[in-house]
Structure 1
């Protein structure tokens, strides 16, 4: 199977967009990721997937912690910055969730302690034990078919 076919198929799964942050010896690091999911309610666990070539891999291994920041529909530029799509240096102001670095304006911030690590293929899966959560109102930034998007009033399901 060709890599492009696999990537195209995975792009058909609409996801939210997150920025994963961590603090290593007072230096905050971040990367855009959509490979995130909740794992368990009891105990409260989530998983993120980090590629073997990503510098974030060693940062999370060193810190033993990470924060998942769910970006709002207004934060596409931040996603692009942390994905390396914007090359120029920009100042980012980070928030703090009881010692965990956060992206201000994110609609959810979930701070975690690494509970376990699994290497599979060309990625490492970090299972995180949720330590704290902060929520904000707002619409999520979405990613589908290689493009950013947002919910609209016409497509939002009412339950």
Structure 2
């Protein structure tokens, strides 16, 4: 099977969009990640999967803490900025939550401490303990078939 077929098949799974962020030398940095999932309720664990070619790969690998911001439907531009699909044309409103940066006004923000790192092919899976959570009302932005979507397709 070729890589394109595999990518197309994986694109048939709708996902939410998150931005994973860290503090790097007193500067906030982040990247768009849709490979995010909850792992366990007790203890509270999540997982993210990061490509070894990602610009943040080494920084995240050496960081003990990171934030996850679940984006709202009106935060599509932030997803594109952190995915390097669009130039940054706006100030990114980060806030600190339990010592890690998260994006203000996101649907949910999750502070995490890395518990395990597991090499899997060309990715590294980070399993992390959740240390703090905040949620807000709103609707998510989704990614499906290589395109952004919303729960209500007439809004996008």
Measured against the shorter chain, the TM-score band is: over 0.9
Q: What secondary structure is seen at the aligned counterpart in 2 of 1:55?
A: coil
- Which residue of 1 is the match for residue 139 of structure 2? 139
* Alignment of 1:16 onto 2:7: no
Q: How does 1:1-159 map to 2 (within 5 A)?
A: 1-88=1-88, 90-152=90-152
1-side partners of 2:93 and 2:59: how far apart? 19
2-side partners of 1:88 and 1:132: how far apart? 28
Q: What secondary structure is seen at the aligned counterpart in 1 of 2:73?
A: coil
- Can you give the 5+ residue segments of structure 2 that lack an aligned partner in the other structure? none
- Can you give the 5+ residue segments of structure 1 that lack an aligned partner in the other structure? 155-159
Q: What secondary structure is seen at the aligned counterpart in 2 of 1:5?
A: helix
Query: Taking structure 1 as the reference length, what is the TM-score of the superposition?
Result: 0.92
2-side partners of 1:136 and 1:88: how far apart? 25
2-side partners of 1:153 and 1:7: how far apart? 23
What's the offset of the Cα at 1:45? 0.4
2-side partners of 1:88 and 1:125: how far apart? 27
Q: How many residues align?
A: 154
Alpha-carbon deviations, 1:39-68, whole Å to 9, x = none? 001111000000001121111122211111
2-side partners of 1:88 and 1:150: how far apart? 23
What's the offset of the Cα at 1:140? 0.3
Deviates more, 1:60-69 or 1:3-12: 60-69
